[in-house]
Chain A
């Protein structure tokens, strides 16, 4: 049955839902921005925008990797632990200089990605379980390497965390550059097309002779490295390594950003622009509630409602 059997109203409703899913997140960001400009005192200041942007950067970077994983019809629950692992590794290797420490942290993220990818691609474990195992083990490993909070007093890392170019913080520039890079990879490279094909239907991709295993491993490596980058930047901004709490619940925020941004959980489609807007939406929502003196618990409840609404909208779309 195709559009022929649908009444005009049906087509319109469908188009409306599609619009809602594709652009609802931008509308949400616009509404929150306008509402804040109108009702929140001191919202419209460069300083405030800087703060919001700096806070959203790590979430966005993690969400970019999550978008790739979800696009391949997977998910990566280990991202928060990878951030913690990265921060521990930095403290451990800082004696060899900041560059080596950062590289070691990224290598650590890549290794977790390889483990996730191997479990998913070669052994056929469901992504949610494979990455669950690494989520538990990764946080433990981070705490084994660095049992408690430690100050990171490296001038290079400090300037990475707090410096800016023409008033735009490095963190924001890096996040923006990574978003552009990931968007380019998804849209313009063979790897991106293969990733979407696998997310659409893995058996079909296999029959078509795509290198399914290699692509899946690369997806999880990308997610691991991006999470590690977020861990490095968070460490640089906080000028401390805190393996106990850094990145906790990050997997939830990242999944929310991706899903709210219109990437379906069923794979086969990745929307990077939507993911950026999704991350901004969550940050704005949190900031709005806090600035109006609503307790943090309300933020959690609000985030839960937003997730369900976004997935519900995506479900209507999935029916087509």
Chain B
């Protein structure tokens, strides 16, 4: 039984185009790379311009504040997801962990802010760690492991809330509630926290050894292992980061809503994955940026906002447009990726 296992993981993933652009890159190649890196940002700018020209209500303080806040929680989840997807994995459990984190934080807030923050981080981080262990050490498929975690965490959430009938409230006078509801320079505290986390995330991914390993594992796992990268430890790390981010986002959301809402987070994994992919990160792994995911989240939220503003359109159209948009982005990505490799 000493054969190396070269089935599932490698087979499922073609070698990603992780390589740096060669020096003699042609103009078409560079254009493709540019489109891949900044396409989302350009689309976002266009969407914002069109939206503000079409609706007087778009560029108002209230509307922008609302969008920023509702983007913040999704953005924190997408931040963790970016790490996972750059390694070529996927995390379907984040929606459940978001809800679980919120409920744990709301329950814990009666014992002070420290408990309200540490409890969700501990539990969701632990579930992320278990995901990582099963994926990295036992070599199970990421999507099936995190699918099980999605079910399990939602079950746990229901079990601690009497099947969802108990709602834990956060005392509005506590410091924890201020984390969600407070403002600094006129901008909500969750938005500041999110921005700080993104800066930290970008530094970790770009400037640390762990970040290098994340790209290496996603680019080519076997090559990374041969070069001495700790493949298993890196994978365990990214799923733990994803669990921590989802739990923290849930906690911040509970502080904002001053209660732990049990029904939140369903479908959030899809939104987070969409945001990351729209932001230019390749689902095949090895290539992506933290800033892109933030742009992806904002783009999704602007689209949702525009659809809400078109009063005659049903909110169901949001889903149709989001799904179609995801398909278009993935098609474009595949096409651009292929072009870069062929040329």
Asked whether B283 is an interface residue with its Cβ less than 8 Å from the other chain, the reply is yes
Cross-chain contact A144 with B163 (CB below 8 angstroms): no
The answer to whether A312 and B155 have CB atoms under 8 Å apart is no
Prevailing SS type, chain A contact patch: helix
The one of A1, A10, A140, A201 that contacts B323, using a Cβ cutoff of 8 Å: A140
Which of chain B's residues have a CB closer than 8 A to the CB of A143? 314, 316, 319
Complex CA distance for A243 and B173, rounded to whole angstroms:
41
Interface centre among A136, A140, A265, A307 (most CB of B within 10 A): A136
Given A137-B320, A143-B316: A301 in contact with B151 (beta carbons within 8 A):
yes
From B12, B144, B155, B316, contact of A307 by CB (8 A):
B144
- A134 to chain B: which residues have CB within 8 Å? 323, 327
In the complex formed, the residue of B with least CB distance to A320 is: B3
Taking the closest CB of chain A, its distance from the CB of B50, in whole angstroms, is 21
Name which residue of chain B comes closest to A314, CB basis.
B140
User: Which single member of A126, A129, A133, A303 contacts B151 (CB below 8 Å)?
Assistant: A303
* Cβ-defined contact, B155 with A319, below 8 A: no
B322 on the A face (CB < 8 A): yes
What residue of chain A has the Cβ atom nearest to residue B320's Cβ? A140
Tally chain A residues at the interface, Cβ within 8 Å. Answer: 52
Q: Is the CB of A296 within 8 A of B158?
A: yes
Contact A301 B316 (CB under 8 A): no
Judge if A99 is at the interface, Cβ distance under 8 Å.
no
A20 shortest CB reach to chain B, Å: 16
Known: A137-B319, A299-B155, A315-B140. A132 touches B338 (CB 8 A): no
Q: Which of B134, B144, B154, B163 has the most CB of A within 10 A?
A: B144
Write out, one digit per residue, whether chain B residues 188-209 have a CB within 8 A of any chain A CB (1) or not (0).
Answer: 0000000000000000000000
Q: List 5 A-B contacts (CB under 8 A).
A: A5-B2, A14-B1, A124-B334, A144-B320, A266-B8
Instruction: Report which A residues bind B (CB closer than 8 A).
Output: 1, 5-6, 10, 14, 73, 75, 119, 123-126, 128-130, 132-141, 143-144, 147, 201, 252, 255, 259, 265-266, 295-301, 303-305, 307-308, 311-312, 315, 318-320
Interface residues of B (CB under 8 A from A): 1-3, 5, 7-8, 11-12, 90, 134, 138-141, 143-145, 147-152, 154-159, 163, 267, 270, 273-274, 277, 283-284, 314, 316-324, 326-327, 330-331, 334-335, 338
